Amino acid sequence: MAPTELPPSPAATSPGIQSHEDVVSSVTAILRHHCSKSRWNYLRSIHPQGFSPPDLSRLLLSFRNRAHLALRLFTWSSRLRRPDLAGYATIIHILARSGLSSQAQSLIRTAIALEEQHRQKEEDAPGGALGVLETLAATYRACDSRPFVFDLLVRTCLASRKTEQAIDAVRRLRSRGLRLTIGTSNSLVRHVARSSGADDALRLYREIFSCSAESDGETESRRRLDLPPNVQTFNSLLHAFYCEKHLEGVERVVSEMTRLGCEPNLFTYNVLMAAFSNEGRTDKSMELWGQMLEKQMEPDVVSYNTLIGGLCRVSEVARAEELYRRMTIDGGIEPTCRTLESLIEGHCRTGDVDGAILIFRDLRRRGFSPVTDSVNRIVEGLCRKARVSEAVTFFRKAVADGGVEPDRSSYETLIGGLCEEGQPEEALAIQVEMASRGFEPDRKVYGFFLRGYEEC
């Protein structure tokens, strides 16, 4: 079969007088009706400098229902001549309306960078995202686009750590009566929580999810939410306040959830139980646990670990052990290293160091590597019971088995215990090992030795 012949183009003979309509007509004919790979070389022969910005936008629009071809045309032309912002906006719209989100976001990122370069000499110039937003808005109807294109702009800003520009874009969109999807709005709240803190995230929440009254006479309870938050929205805020140990903030978010009738999910309950447990309010945590079970929510390993840890911190080991049995026997959930370390802490707090050692052995048997704090608690518990030799043996075995990196506290506890029992020579051997790990003796350690030699 003979190769497909490409039609002659007016540009080949009279590029200077070819109209915009002629360019669009001839290039469209070439790309629509010829599949030969040589068509791109042919296009370059008749348009060696690519297309002018207006021509490129018109060409892209003619292929708005063939997004892949439009993208290839944009890429080809961009190598020959830099597109303007309208060209970027046009191809971004085409990709967004066709569901090619990753390709659209890649071009949004490039467009923002180019706009920032263009504006860098201007004083107090807004971020590049606002320039891209305005161009997207100006070209929106011509491209028969979808509102999701603005979500892609905000998501790209967040992925590029341009949180402030994302917020500015949202405010600009709200001023035009446009709203983002709930997913993008929640992402923005989470990013602000991480970068600026929970209070700023709560203020942004109130701005994004603000209410507008449908009539002047409406009460607050009947005000219409422009964009109703969902449980993920509140979970993001709860987690942010929890991480900051801000229980009052947690309670404010819970009140807002209740006011709007938003039902909590398992993640919500886990965060709430953790927040109250950290404050020693295990009674409130147990109340939340009961609510969760009443709603027939199945606790997961995080739920059990949270409550077991909270109970152990306030020395309620019996209740923690009961939950542990329910978790492993009734629930069929395997404990994690954190589960067992919490139980070790609880037993040590109540003076049951032998119980803590049994759990430590179970932890090892399961292949977990304990944190140094668990080893230190057992060592300290043994020394308090004047079982210093056992403490030394336990410590050395824990280190030898691997997974435990002793710290200064480990050695100080052993040195103090040995000196108190009148064994400064044995304590000196521990101090040498301590120095070999980079922990130099301080006034506290020297004080142990002075008292130890006085006991001799």
Query: Whole-number mean pLDDT of the chain?
Result: 88
* 8 A C-beta contact, residue 253 and residue 234: yes
φ and ψ at residue 349, rounded to 5 degrees = -65, -35
> Mean pLDDT, to the nearest integer, of 248-267?
96
User: Would you state the pLDDT for residue 8?
Assistant: 46
User: Would you state the pLDDT for residue 35?
Assistant: 65
Cα separation of the two ends of the chain: 106
Binned at pLDDT 50, 70 and 90, residue 220 comes out as: very low
Q: How far apart are CA 213 and CA 196, in angstroms?
A: 30
Binned at pLDDT 50, 70 and 90, residue 393 comes out as: very high
Q: How far apart are CA 419 and CA 444, in angstroms?
A: 12
Binned at pLDDT 50, 70 and 90, residue 380 comes out as: very high
Looking at the chain, the whole-number percentage of residues with pLDDT higher than 90 is 70
Q: What is the pLDDT of residues 145-195, one digit of tens each?
A: 999 999 999 999 999 999 999 999 999 999 988 889 999 999 999 999 999
Question: Is it the case that residue 451 has pLDDT exceeding 90?
Answer: no
Q: What is the pLDDT of residues 90-115, one digit of tens each?
A: 999 999 999 999 999 999 999 999 99
> Mean pLDDT, to the nearest integer, of 227-244?
96
Question: Is it the case that residue 238 has pLDDT exceeding 60?
Answer: yes
Q: How far apart are CA 274 and CA 269, in angstroms?
A: 8
* 8 A C-beta contact, residue 343 and residue 322: no
User: Would you state the pLDDT for residue 100?
Assistant: 96
User: Would you state the pLDDT for residue 47?
Assistant: 84
User: Would you state the pLDDT for residue 121?
Assistant: 63
Question: Is it the case that residue 219 has pLDDT exceeding 50?
Answer: no
Higher pLDDT among residues 21 and 103, named by residue? 103
Looking at the chain, the whole-number percentage of residues with pLDDT higher than 70 is 88
> In the chain, where are the structural domains located?
181-208+229-260
User: Would you state the pLDDT for residue 224?
Assistant: 45
User: Would you state the pLDDT for residue 38?
Assistant: 74
Other C-beta atoms closer than 10 Å to the C-beta of 362 total 14
User: Would you state the pLDDT for residue 117?
Assistant: 87
Q: How far apart are CA 299 and CA 269, in angstroms?
A: 9
Binned at pLDDT 50, 70 and 90, residue 248 comes out as: very high
DSSP for 212-257, written as a single string? E-SSTT--GGGPEESS---HHHHHHHHHHHHHTT-HHHHHHHHHHH
Binned at pLDDT 50, 70 and 90, residue 45 comes out as: confident
* 8 A C-beta contact, residue 296 and residue 262: no
Binned at pLDDT 50, 70 and 90, residue 213 comes out as: very low
Token representation of residue 428: 């000196």
Q: How far apart are CA 135 and CA 137, in angstroms?
A: 5
Question: Is it the case that residue 20 has pLDDT exceeding 70?
Answer: no
Higher pLDDT among residues 218 and 297, named by residue? 297
Q: How far apart are CA 401 and CA 411, in angstroms?
A: 17
